[in-house]
Amino acid sequence: MSRDLGLRRLHALRGPRGPRRTALIAASVTALSVTASGCVVVHGEREVLPAATRAEAAEALKEFTAAYNEADKAYDSSLDADHVTGALADIDGARLEAGKVNHPDGNPRHVPLELTDAKFTIPAKAGWPRWFLADAAANKGGDIRWLLVFTRDALDDPWEVAFLTLVPPEDMPEFKTDKDGWAEAVPANSTGLAVAPGELSQKYATYLKDGGDGFADGPHTSGWRDTRRKQSVRPGLATQYIDEPLVNGDYAPLALRTADGGALVFFTTRHFEKQTAAAGATVPTPNKDVLALTTGEIRQSLTMEFVSNEVALDPADGPVEVLGRIQGLTSAKGE
């Protein structure tokens, strides 16, 4: 189940905005160039380099938090549009849109987000996108760690958060690092894992539909399937579910090598939930945030579209463990 982050409920939001940037750099340029002063500059298109310095990572987290707070206070997604992308842009952008509809003057319950005790796991890699993980405590959500994955596709791009998930501190793995403390990024097609990171979104969508033994039991796997089963048939109301992978552009999975040889993988999925009332019955009236994102008239059915981002431990062998999931309603249609 999705958690209440103090972002209000993150499953009352809006439809995917699509990748903010749909293409990486078209071609590599020379890795080394000489400036007018004669100094050599490493561009990083081919060189294996840390995605950011620790100071740069800390500044990116600070800038994100400030922009997020401005957007949350005003219910205005334009105020943090340069700091979010992918799944988080869809989820939080929809939350802000719904909030603006219901509270045109801004968020009456705004409490500034504070992120403290930040730890940065920064992989050294060649090519784009560059990315890193920020792991922080927050004044919202209780005793839990906020995991924010920052990414960018070029040196002059701003750092944007593509994934936001919440994980209990005891579930955080130890990462593999080199002698300088830089982490290892795991390619999407990497072998030697239970599931290649690039296949995890599809595997998860298939599991939610059909079950199986590829995922460890937990609230985001067997627990979610049990909840759906109970809700699928209620007196006068039937609910259908469709699950789809999201793997391209800013939704592409990102993975870090763990010390035990596995990987911590961030990935995205899309989900549809259709409620259909029996003859003579009606669909339950949704809350005002859902209504703010609903087109059409709700007569006999309501179809809701969600975007979800997950974080999972993908071991060298054995079932995948989904540690956290944030899901947001992105659009709805009444018929």
Three-class HEC string of 126-139: CCCCEEEEEEEEEC
Please, which pLDDT band fits residue 36 given cuts at 50, 70 and 90?
Answer: very low
For residue 47, the model assigns a pLDDT of 84
In a domain, 16, yes or no: no
Q: How many CA atoms lie within 13 A of 314 on its CB side?
A: 30
Average pLDDT over residues 247-255: 97
Contacts with 303 (C-beta within 8 Å, 6 or more apart), sequence order: 272, 273, 274, 275, 332, 333, 335
Q: Is the pLDDT of residue 17 over 90?
A: no
The DSSP symbol for 37 reads: T
Mean residue pLDDT of the chain comes to 88
**SS3 (DSSP) at 249:** helix
Give the pTM: 0.86
- pLDDT above 70 covers a percentage of the chain that reads 86
Which domain does 293 fall in, by range? 44-334
For residue 117, the model assigns a pLDDT of 97
For residue 141, the model assigns a pLDDT of 87
Average pLDDT over residues 41-53: 73
Q: Report the C-alpha gap between 146 and 137 in whole angstroms.
A: 6
Would you give the end-to-end CA distance of the chain in angstroms?
27
In a domain, 5, yes or no: no
Q: What's the pLDDT tens digit per position in 82-122? A: 999 999 999 999 999 999 999 999 999 999 999 999 999 99
In a domain, 8, yes or no: no
Q: Is the pLDDT of residue 6 over 90?
A: no
Average pLDDT over residues 288-302: 97
For residue 45, the model assigns a pLDDT of 59
In a domain, 206, yes or no: yes
Q: Is the pLDDT of residue 1 over 80?
A: no
Please, which pLDDT band fits residue 274 given cuts at 50, 70 and 90?
Answer: very high
Q: Report the C-alpha gap between 181 and 62 in whole angstroms.
A: 22
Average pLDDT over residues 250-273: 98
Q: Report the C-alpha gap between 304 and 94 in whole angstroms.
A: 13
For residue 35, the model assigns a pLDDT of 30
Please name the residue that has the structure tokens 């059915």: 301
Contacts with 95 (C-beta within 8 Å, 6 or more apart), sequence order: 7, 8, 10, 12, 13, 14, 289, 328
How many beta carbons lie within 10 A of that of residue 258, not counting itself? 20
The DSSP symbol for 178 reads: -
In a domain, 13, yes or no: no
Please, which pLDDT band fits residue 39 given cuts at 50, 70 and 90?
Answer: very low
Q: Is the pLDDT of residue 269 over 60?
A: yes
In a domain, 49, yes or no: yes
In a domain, 24, yes or no: no
Nearest-5° Cα angle at 230, 246 to 274:
45
Q: Is the pLDDT of residue 23 over 80?
A: no
Q: What is the DSSP string of 38-81?
A: S-EEE--SSS-EESS-HHHHHHHHHHHHHHHHHHHHHT-GGGSG
For residue 71, the model assigns a pLDDT of 98
Q: Report the C-alpha gap between 121 and 190 in whole angstroms.
A: 20
> How deeply is 235 buried, as exposed, middle or buried, from its count of CB atoms within 10 A (0-12, 13-18, 19+)?
exposed
> How deeply is 144 buried, as exposed, middle or buried, from its count of CB atoms within 10 A (0-12, 13-18, 19+)?
middle
Q: What's the pLDDT tens digit per position in 123-150? A: 999 999 999 999 999 999 889 999 999 9
Q: Report the C-alpha gap between 260 and 175 in whole angstroms.
A: 8
The domain total for the chain is 1
Q: Report the C-alpha gap between 245 and 269 in whole angstroms.
A: 5
> How deeply is 6 buried, as exposed, middle or buried, from its count of CB atoms within 10 A (0-12, 13-18, 19+)?
middle
Q: Is the pLDDT of residue 13 over 80?
A: no
Q: Is the pLDDT of residue 10 over 50?
A: no
Average pLDDT over residues 264-292: 96
Q: Report the C-alpha gap between 109 and 114 in whole angstroms.
A: 15
